[in-house]
Protein backbone atom coordinates (compact mmCIF):
# COMPACT_ATOMS: atom_id res chain seq x y z
CA UNK A 1 0.00 0.00 0.00
CA UNK A 2 2.87 2.37 0.79
CA UNK A 3 4.49 1.67 -2.57
CA UNK A 4 1.22 2.42 -4.34
CA UNK A 5 0.95 5.71 -2.46
CA UNK A 6 4.54 6.58 -3.33
CA UNK A 7 3.81 5.82 -6.99
CA UNK A 8 0.85 8.21 -6.89
CA UNK A 9 3.08 10.83 -5.26
CA UNK A 10 5.57 10.36 -8.10
CA UNK A 11 2.86 10.80 -10.74
CA UNK A 12 1.57 13.92 -8.99
CA UNK A 13 5.16 15.22 -8.77
CA UNK A 14 5.66 14.84 -12.51
CA UNK A 15 2.37 16.57 -13.33
CA UNK A 16 3.01 19.42 -10.88
CA UNK A 17 6.58 19.90 -12.10
CA UNK A 18 5.37 20.11 -15.67
CA UNK A 19 2.60 22.59 -14.82
CA UNK A 20 4.91 24.86 -12.81
CA UNK A 21 7.55 24.83 -15.52
CA UNK A 22 4.93 25.56 -18.19
CA UNK A 23 3.98 28.66 -16.24
CA UNK A 24 7.62 29.62 -15.69
CA UNK A 25 8.73 29.21 -19.31
CA UNK A 26 5.38 30.12 -20.90
CA UNK A 27 5.94 27.16 -23.18
CA UNK A 28 4.74 23.59 -23.47
CA UNK A 29 7.90 22.23 -25.09
CA UNK A 30 10.67 23.62 -22.84
CA UNK A 31 9.42 21.73 -19.74
CA UNK A 32 9.32 18.50 -21.77
CA UNK A 33 12.93 19.06 -22.79
CA UNK A 34 13.93 19.57 -19.17
CA UNK A 35 11.99 16.55 -17.91
CA UNK A 36 13.64 14.23 -20.44
CA UNK A 37 16.64 13.93 -18.13
CA UNK A 38 14.54 12.26 -15.43
CA UNK A 39 13.94 9.00 -17.32
CA UNK A 40 17.50 9.15 -18.67
CA UNK A 41 18.74 8.73 -15.09
CA UNK A 42 17.17 5.24 -14.79
CA UNK A 43 20.35 3.36 -15.83
CA UNK A 44 22.27 5.05 -13.01
CA UNK A 45 19.52 4.21 -10.54
CA UNK A 46 19.42 0.55 -11.59
CA UNK A 47 23.20 0.29 -11.58
CA UNK A 48 23.66 1.78 -8.09
CA UNK A 49 20.84 -0.29 -6.58
CA UNK A 50 22.44 -3.43 -8.04
CA UNK A 51 25.92 -2.45 -6.83
CA UNK A 52 24.72 -1.69 -3.30
CA UNK A 53 22.43 -4.71 -3.08
CA UNK A 54 19.40 -2.51 -2.38
CA UNK A 55 15.94 -3.23 -3.73
CA UNK A 56 13.23 -1.03 -5.15
CA UNK A 57 11.61 -0.15 -1.84
CA UNK A 58 9.64 2.70 -0.36
CA UNK A 59 12.91 4.37 0.60
CA UNK A 60 14.13 4.10 -3.00
CA UNK A 61 10.85 5.56 -4.25
CA UNK A 62 11.27 8.55 -1.93
CA UNK A 63 14.78 8.95 -3.34
CA UNK A 64 13.40 8.94 -6.85
CA UNK A 65 10.94 11.71 -5.95
CA UNK A 66 13.81 13.79 -4.52
CA UNK A 67 15.97 13.03 -7.53
CA UNK A 68 13.28 14.38 -9.86
CA UNK A 69 13.50 17.80 -8.25
CA UNK A 70 17.30 18.00 -8.36
CA UNK A 71 17.59 16.77 -11.94
CA UNK A 72 14.91 19.15 -13.15
CA UNK A 73 16.66 22.03 -11.38
CA UNK A 74 19.81 21.47 -13.45
CA UNK A 75 17.82 21.50 -16.68
CA UNK A 76 15.98 24.67 -15.65
CA UNK A 77 19.29 26.46 -15.06
CA UNK A 78 20.50 25.55 -18.55
CA UNK A 79 17.32 26.20 -20.54
CA UNK A 80 16.44 29.43 -18.74
CA UNK A 81 19.85 30.96 -19.40
CA UNK A 82 19.85 29.87 -23.04
CA UNK A 83 16.41 31.47 -23.47
CA UNK A 84 17.77 34.69 -21.98
CA UNK A 85 20.69 34.59 -24.43
CA UNK A 86 18.30 33.98 -27.34
CA UNK A 87 16.26 37.00 -26.29
CA UNK A 88 19.48 39.03 -26.38
CA UNK A 89 19.91 38.09 -30.05
CA UNK A 90 22.07 34.96 -30.11
CA UNK A 91 21.20 32.11 -32.44
CA UNK A 92 19.93 28.89 -30.87
CA UNK A 93 23.17 26.89 -31.14
CA UNK A 94 25.31 29.81 -29.95
CA UNK A 95 22.99 30.38 -27.00
CA UNK A 96 23.09 26.70 -26.01
CA UNK A 97 26.89 26.51 -26.20
CA UNK A 98 27.30 29.75 -24.25
CA UNK A 99 24.75 28.67 -21.63
CA UNK A 100 26.41 25.26 -21.25
CA UNK A 101 29.82 26.84 -20.75
CA UNK A 102 28.55 29.53 -18.40
CA UNK A 103 26.33 27.32 -16.23
CA UNK A 104 28.63 24.29 -16.14
CA UNK A 105 30.08 25.26 -12.77
CA UNK A 106 26.72 25.85 -11.07
CA UNK A 107 25.31 22.57 -12.41
CA UNK A 108 28.39 20.62 -11.30
CA UNK A 109 28.43 22.24 -7.85
CA UNK A 110 24.72 21.51 -7.34
CA UNK A 111 25.14 17.89 -8.39
CA UNK A 112 28.43 17.14 -6.65
CA UNK A 113 27.31 18.55 -3.31
CA UNK A 114 24.33 16.19 -3.42
CA UNK A 115 26.50 13.29 -4.60
CA UNK A 116 29.11 13.83 -1.90
CA UNK A 117 26.40 14.22 0.74
CA UNK A 118 24.84 10.87 -0.19
CA UNK A 119 28.09 8.95 -0.54
CA UNK A 120 28.73 8.21 3.19
CA UNK A 121 25.22 6.85 3.67
CA UNK A 122 25.40 4.67 0.56
CA UNK A 123 28.78 3.34 1.71
CA UNK A 124 27.23 2.40 5.06
CA UNK A 125 29.20 4.79 7.24
CA UNK A 126 27.51 5.57 10.53
CA UNK A 127 24.74 4.11 12.59
CA UNK A 128 21.22 3.96 11.22
CA UNK A 129 22.23 4.53 7.62
CA UNK A 130 20.40 1.35 6.53
CA UNK A 131 17.09 3.15 6.71
CA UNK A 132 18.10 5.85 4.22
CA UNK A 133 20.48 3.83 2.09
CA UNK A 134 17.97 3.07 -0.68
CA UNK A 135 16.89 6.71 -0.90
CA UNK A 136 20.45 7.99 -1.02
CA UNK A 137 21.54 5.31 -3.50
CA UNK A 138 18.82 6.33 -5.94
CA UNK A 139 19.79 10.01 -5.68
CA UNK A 140 23.49 9.21 -6.03
CA UNK A 141 23.13 6.91 -9.04
CA UNK A 142 20.61 9.15 -10.76
CA UNK A 143 22.80 12.24 -10.38
CA UNK A 144 25.91 10.45 -11.59
CA UNK A 145 24.15 9.69 -14.88
CA UNK A 146 21.85 12.68 -15.26
CA UNK A 147 24.45 15.40 -14.67
CA UNK A 148 26.42 14.76 -17.87
CA UNK A 149 23.17 14.09 -19.72
CA UNK A 150 21.86 17.48 -18.63
CA UNK A 151 24.80 19.10 -20.36
CA UNK A 152 24.51 17.01 -23.54
CA UNK A 153 20.98 15.65 -23.95
CA UNK A 154 19.06 18.77 -22.93
CA UNK A 155 20.63 20.96 -25.66
CA UNK A 156 20.07 18.24 -28.27
CA UNK A 157 16.40 17.82 -27.34
CA UNK A 158 16.02 21.60 -27.12
CA UNK A 159 17.09 21.93 -30.76
CA UNK A 160 14.87 19.02 -31.84
CA UNK A 161 11.79 20.38 -30.04
CA UNK A 162 12.36 23.89 -31.41
CA UNK A 163 12.69 22.50 -34.95
CA UNK A 164 9.43 20.62 -34.49
CA UNK A 165 7.80 23.76 -33.11
CA UNK A 166 8.94 25.77 -36.16
CA UNK A 167 7.62 23.11 -38.56
CA UNK A 168 4.25 23.06 -36.79
CA UNK A 169 4.11 26.87 -36.82
CA UNK A 170 4.94 26.94 -40.55
CA UNK A 171 2.23 24.39 -41.30
CA UNK A 172 -0.24 26.36 -39.19
CA UNK A 173 0.69 29.52 -41.08
CA UNK A 174 0.13 27.78 -44.44
CA UNK A 175 -3.28 26.52 -43.32
CA UNK A 176 -4.38 29.95 -42.12
CA UNK A 177 -3.13 31.54 -45.36
CA UNK A 178 -5.28 29.09 -47.35
CA UNK A 179 -8.35 30.15 -45.39
CA UNK A 180 -7.51 33.83 -45.88
CA UNK A 181 -7.13 33.34 -49.65
CA UNK A 182 -10.39 31.41 -49.81
CA UNK A 183 -12.31 34.34 -48.35
pLDDT at 67: 84
Tens of pLDDT, residue by residue over 21-72, are 888 888 888 888 888 888 888 888 888 888 888 877 777 888 888 888 888 8
Report field, pTM of the whole predicted structure over 0.85:
no
Residue 78 near residue 152 (C-beta atoms within 8 A): no
The Cα 147–Cα 9 span in angstroms is 24
Measure the CA–CA gap between 81 and 102, rounded to whole angstroms.
Answer: 9
Q: In angstroms, rounded to a whole number, what is the distance separating the alpha carbons of residues 45 and 71?
A: 13
* Residues 81-114: tens digit of each pLDDT: 999 999 999 998 899 999 989 999 988 898 889 8
Amino acid sequence: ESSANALWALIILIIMLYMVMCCQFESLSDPLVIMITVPLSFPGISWILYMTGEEYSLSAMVGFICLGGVVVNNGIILIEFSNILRERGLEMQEALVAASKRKLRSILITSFTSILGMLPIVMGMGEGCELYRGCCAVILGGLLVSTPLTLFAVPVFYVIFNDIKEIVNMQWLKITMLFVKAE
